[in-house]
């Protein structure tokens, strides 16, 4: 497993014929702080491809809150240990490597990206779609793997790939949950032990409530700050705040 911090070095490597000729490339884009959910994505990528590429990049353009960006965990050495045995190449550039244009050029989706997460985090999906497009262009994978916990993101990335005629197959992967049902997330580690135990109520109430409105009311009663709960295409999505940590999840209805 080799780590590339330079885009120029990565492109020289990706263009090498002996390494990639006739080989299927699987890609898992992440912002680091890897956990068992990321490991599951990497395991699937390794099972379905010949060469697995992992990206680790805390993308500044998708953060609407500077404090959230500053607090996001950066754990490269631990991440590389977790990826061991599954990943062949790691792309871990600095922001100036991925944004030499200083974000002058960006991808904007005009409809779905303005709902749900987009309504509460202005510009968030511009940053997500822009960095994903850049990474897909750099890695040129046959398949790219995304977790279903970020359901809206997954839908937007899938539709962008189709709209822009990208050759990469966008592969959805089931949400990995802790024993108490809470979806694994890098943000969970910012919760206190008591907050972490309380957070498990979030997915339970999403699933148990009869309507989205009932779920939102029940979450508020339990002390969560509720950004939204909404039903879309047979999926109930929610975003809440607990101890100044923002959590998102979704359950199938």
pTM higher than 0.75, yes or no? yes
Residue 65 in contact with residue 101, Cβ under 8 Å? no
Q: Is 198 a catalytic residue?
A: no
Position 218 pLDDT exceeds 90: yes
Rg (alpha carbons) of the chain, rounded to whole number = 18
Average pLDDT estimate for 153-179: 98
* pLDDT band of 180, cuts 50, 70, 90: very high
Q: What is the predicted pLDDT for the residue at 82?
A: 96
Select from 172, 3, 141, 16 the least CA-distant residue to 79. 3
Residue 239 in contact with residue 138, Cβ under 8 Å? no
Active-site position among 35, 38, 88, 142: 38
- What domains lie within the chain, and their CATH numbers? 2-173 (3.40.50.620), 186-248 (3.30.1300)
* pLDDT band of 17, cuts 50, 70, 90: confident
Q: What percent of the chain has pLDDT over 70?
A: 100
Q: What is the predicted pLDDT for the residue at 18?
A: 85
Average pLDDT estimate for 1-29: 95
Compute φ and ψ for 195, nearest 5 degrees: -65, -40
Q: What is the predicted pLDDT for the residue at 106?
A: 98
């Amino acid at each position: 497993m080799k780590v590339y911090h330079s885009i120029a070095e990565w492109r020289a490597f990706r263009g090498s014929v002996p390494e990639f000729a006739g080989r299927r490339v699987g890609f898992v884009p992440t912002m680091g702080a890897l956990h068992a959910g990321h490991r599951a994505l990497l395991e699937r990528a390794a099972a379905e491809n010949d060469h697995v590429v992992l990206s680790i990049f805390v993308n500044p353009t998708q953060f609407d809150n500077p404090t959230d960006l500053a607090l996001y965990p950066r754990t490269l050495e631990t991440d590389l240990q977790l990826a061991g045995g599954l990943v062949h190449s790691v792309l871990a550039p600095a922001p100036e490597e991925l944004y030499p244009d200083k974000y002058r050029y960006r991808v904007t989706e005009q409809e779905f990206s303005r709902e749900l997460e987009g309504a509460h985090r202005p510009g968030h999906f511009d940053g997500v779609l822009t960095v994903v497009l850049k990474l897909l262009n750099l890695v040129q994978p046959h398949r790219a793997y995304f977790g279903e916990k970020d359901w809206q993101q997954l839908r937007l990335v899938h539709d962008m790939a189709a709209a822009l005629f990208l050759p990469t197959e966008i592969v959805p992967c089931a949400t990995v949950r802790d024993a108490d049902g809470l979806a694994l997330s890098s943000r969970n580690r910012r919760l206190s032990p008591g907050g972490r135990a309380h957070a498990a109520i979030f997915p339970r109430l999403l699933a148990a409530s009869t309507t989205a409105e009932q779920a939102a009311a029940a979450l508020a009663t339990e002390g969560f700050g509720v950004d939204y709960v909404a039903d879309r295409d047979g999926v109930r999505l929610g975003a809440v705040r607990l101890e100044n940590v923002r959590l998102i999840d979704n359950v199938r209805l």
